[in-house]
Amino acid sequence: MEVIYLTMTITVIIAGLFLYLFFVNVKKGQYDDIYTPSVRMLFDDELVKEPTQEAKKEEQKAAEVKKDS
Amino acid sequence: MSDIPCYHCGLDCGKNPIVFNEKNFCCNGCKTVYEILNQNELSCYYDMENSPGQIPNEIKGKYEYLNNPEIVEKLIEFNDGNISVVEFYIPSIHCSACIWVLENLEKLNPAIVNSMVNFPNKTIRINFKTEHTTLKAIVELLTSIAYEPYISLEDADKSAKKVDKTLIYQLGYAAFAFGNIMLLAFPEYFEKDDLWLEHYKYMFRYMMLVLSIPVVVYSAKDYFITAYKGLKKGILSVDVPIALGIIVLFARSTYEAFLDDGVVFFDSLSGLVFFLLLGRFFQQKTYNFLSFERDYRSYFPIAVTKIVNGKEENVPVQSVKEGDRLLIRNEELIPVDGILIHGEGLLDYSFVTGESVSVYKANGEKVYAGGKQIGGAIEIDVINKISESYLTELWSNDVFGKDTFERDLKTVTNNISKYFTVVILIIAAIAGTFWFIHDAKETIGVISAVLIIACPCALALSAPFALGNMLRIFGYRKLYMKNAGVIERMNKIDHIIFDKTGTITTNDSSTLSFEGEELTLEELQLVKTLIRSSNHPLSRALNDAISVEPFLDKIENYQEVLGKGISGIIQGNEIKIGSAFFVETKLEQNLNTIIFIKINQDIKGYFRSKNVYREDVENVFTQLGKKYKLSILSGDNEGEKVYLEKILPVGTTLLFSQTPQNKLDYVKKLQEEGSHVLMVGDGLNDAGALAQSNVGIAISENVNVFSPACDAIMEAKLFNKLPKFLTLSHKTIQIIKWSFKVSFTYNVVGLYFAVTAQLTPIVAAILMPLSSISIVVFVTILTNFYAKRIR
Cα-based angle B44, B48, B52 (whole degrees, multiple of 5): 95
Of the listed ranges B95-99, B751-755, B762-766, the one predicted with least confidence: B762-766
Of B439, B407, B419, B430, residue with least CA distance to B695: B407
Q: Check residue B714 and give its pLDDT.
A: 83
Smallest CA–CA distance, residue A6 to chain B, in Å, is 12
For B27-68, how does the pLDDT look when each residue is reduced to its tens digit (9 = 90+)? 777 777 788 777 777 777 777 777 777 766 666 667 777 877
Mean per-residue pLDDT, B467-490? 83
Of B6, B41, B1, B3, residue with least CA distance to B23: B6
For B777-790, how does the pLDDT look when each residue is reduced to its tens digit (9 = 90+)? 888 899 889 888 87
- DSSP state for residue B12 in the 8-state scheme: B
Smallest CA–CA distance, residue A30 to chain B, in Å, is 12
d(CA B720, CA B701): 14
Backbone dihedral region for residue B169 (phi beyond 0: left; psi -120 to 50: alpha; all else: beta):
alpha
Q: Do B200 and A1 touch (CB under 8 A)?
A: yes
Report the percentage of chain B scoring pLDDT > 70: 84
Q: Phi, psi at residue B768, to the nearest 5°?
A: -65, -55
Q: Phi, psi at residue B341, to the nearest 5°?
A: -105, -40
d(CA B94, CA B115): 17
Preferred mutation among B44, B197, B219 to probe A, highest tally of A CBs within 10 A: B44
Preferred mutation among A49, A53, A59, A61 to probe B, highest tally of B CBs within 10 A: A49
Q: What is the dihedral of CA B434, B440, B441, B444, to 10 degrees?
A: 50
User: What confidence category does residue B176 fall into, taking pLDDT thresholds of 50, 70 and 90?
Assistant: very high
> Can you say whether the dihedral through the CA atoms of B577, B578, B584, B586 is positive or negative?
positive
Whether the predicted interface score ipTM is above 0.85: no
For B527-536, how does the pLDDT look when each residue is reduced to its tens digit (9 = 90+)? 888 877 776 6
Q: Do A52 and B21 touch (CB under 8 A)?
A: yes
Contact B573, B580 (CB under 8 A): no
Asked whether residue B3 carries a pLDDT value surpassing 70, the answer given is no
Q: Strands B695-700 and B712-715, how do they pair?
A: parallel
- Using CB atoms, which residue from A19, A39, A49 is nearest to B172? A19
For B608-628, how does the pLDDT look when each residue is reduced to its tens digit (9 = 90+)? 766 677 777 888 888 888 888
Q: Check residue B178 and give its pLDDT.
A: 92
User: What confidence category does residue B422 fall into, taking pLDDT thresholds of 50, 70 and 90?
Assistant: confident
Q: Check residue B244 and give its pLDDT.
A: 87
User: What confidence category does residue B1 fall into, taking pLDDT thresholds of 50, 70 and 90?
Assistant: very low
Q: Do B103 and A47 touch (CB under 8 A)?
A: no
Specify the pTM: 0.73
Q: Strands B573-578 and B565-570, how do they pair?
A: antiparallel
- DSSP state for residue A21 in the 8-state scheme: H
Asked whether residue B591 carries a pLDDT value surpassing 50, the answer given is no
User: Which CATH number applies to B511-610: 3.40.1110.10, 3.40.50.150, 3.90.550.10, 3.40.50.11440?
Assistant: 3.40.1110.10
Q: Do A19 and B38 touch (CB under 8 A)?
A: no
Alpha helices in B536-611 (DSSP H): 537-545
Contact B588, B479 (CB under 8 A): no
Q: Check residue A35 and give its pLDDT.
A: 83
Q: Do B99 and A52 touch (CB under 8 A)?
A: no
Beta strands, E only, B329-472? 338-342, 345-348, 359-361, 366-367, 372-373, 378-382
Preferred mutation among B46, B49, B118, B206 to probe A, highest tally of A CBs within 10 A: B118
Q: Do B100 and A43 touch (CB under 8 A)?
A: yes
Smallest CA–CA distance, residue A22 to chain B, in Å, is 8
Residue B655 exposure: Cα atoms within 13 Å on the Cβ side? 16
For B282-307, how does the pLDDT look when each residue is reduced to its tens digit (9 = 90+)? 877 666 566 666 566 666 677 778 88
Q: Domain limits of chain B?
A: 1-56, 64-151, 166-286+413-466+731-789, 300-390, 493-505+615-693, 511-610
Asked whether residue B363 carries a pLDDT value surpassing 80, the answer given is no
Smallest CA–CA distance, residue B171 to chain A, in Å, is 11
DSSP string spanning B516-542? ESPPPHHHHHHHHHHHHT---HHHHHH
Smallest CA–CA distance, residue A44 to chain B, in Å, is 10
Asked whether residue B367 carries a pLDDT value surpassing 70, the answer given is yes
User: What confidence category does residue B706 fall into, taking pLDDT thresholds of 50, 70 and 90?
Assistant: low
Superfamily of domain B493-505+615-693, CATH level 4: HAD superfamily/HAD-like (3.40.50.1000)
Q: Which residues of B touch A27 (CB under 8 A)?
A: 165
Of B128, B57, B117, B130, residue with least CA distance to B88: B117
Q: Which residues of B touch A32 (CB under 8 A)?
A: 118, 163
CA-to-CA dists, residue B602 to B356, B481, B607, B748, B764, angstroms:
29, 55, 15, 87, 92
- Using CB atoms, which residue from B22, B107, B116 is nearest to A54? B22
- Using CB atoms, which residue from B43, B119, B199 is nearest to A39? B119
Q: Check residue B721 and give its pLDDT.
A: 86
Q: Check residue B509 and give its pLDDT.
A: 45
Contact B273, B246 (CB under 8 A): yes
Query: Which residue type, as a one-letter code, is found at position B46?
Result: Y
Element (H, E) at B201: helix B195-214
> Across chain B, what does the average pLDDT equal?
79
- Using CB atoms, which residue from B119, B172, B176 is nearest to A36? B119
Contact B448, B252 (CB under 8 A): yes
Interface of A with B (CB under 8 A): 1, 4-5, 8, 11-12, 15-16, 18-19, 22-23, 26-27, 31-33, 35-36, 39-40, 42-44, 47-49, 52, 54-55, 58
Q: Do B173 and A19 touch (CB under 8 A)?
A: yes
Asked whether residue B226 carries a pLDDT value surpassing 50, the answer given is yes
Domain B300-390: state its class: mainly beta
Preferred mutation among A39, A41, A58 to probe B, highest tally of B CBs within 10 A: A39
d(CA B531, CA B567): 9
Of B354, B395, B370, residue with least CA distance to B656: B354
CA gyration radius, chain B? 33
Q: Check residue B183 and give its pLDDT.
A: 86
Interface of B with A (CB under 8 A): 20-22, 38, 41-44, 96, 99-100, 103-104, 107, 116-121, 163, 165, 168-169, 172-173, 176, 179-180, 196, 199-200, 203, 207, 211
Contact B113, B84 (CB under 8 A): no
Q: At what angle do helices B722-755 and B412-438 cross, to 10 degrees?
A: 10
d(CA B547, CA B511): 13
Q: What is the 3-state secondary structure (H, E, C) of B655-718?
A: ECCCCHHHHHHHHHHHHHCCCCEEEEECCHHHHHHHHHCCEEEEEECCCCCCCCCCCEEEEHHH
Q: Which residues of A touch B119 (CB under 8 A)?
A: 33, 35-36, 39
Mean per-residue pLDDT, B223-245? 85
Preferred mutation among A1, A5, A6, A8 to probe B, highest tally of B CBs within 10 A: A8
User: Which CATH number applies to B64-151: 3.30.9.10, 3.40.50.1820, 3.40.50.2300, 3.30.70.100?
Assistant: 3.30.70.100
Q: Which residues of B touch A49 (CB under 8 A)?
A: 41, 43
d(CA B335, CA B371): 8
Asked whether residue B213 carries a pLDDT value surpassing 90, the answer given is yes
Smallest CA–CA distance, residue A60 to chain B, in Å, is 12
d(CA B185, CA B38): 64
d(CA B555, CA B148): 41
Q: Which residues of A touch B96 (CB under 8 A)?
A: 39, 42
Mean per-residue pLDDT, B308-332? 78
- Strand ranges of the sheet holding B372-373, from the earlier edge strand across to the other edge: B359-361, B345-348, B372-373
Smallest CA–CA distance, residue A68 to chain B, in Å, is 21
For A9-51, how does the pLDDT look when each residue is reduced to its tens digit (9 = 90+)? 898 899 999 999 999 998 888 887 788 888 888 876 655 554 4
Q: Check residue B267 and give its pLDDT.
A: 86
d(CA B197, CA A43): 56
Q: Check residue B219 and give its pLDDT.
A: 92
Which chain B residue has its CA at the smallest distance from A2's CA?
B200
Q: Do A35 and B203 touch (CB under 8 A)?
A: no
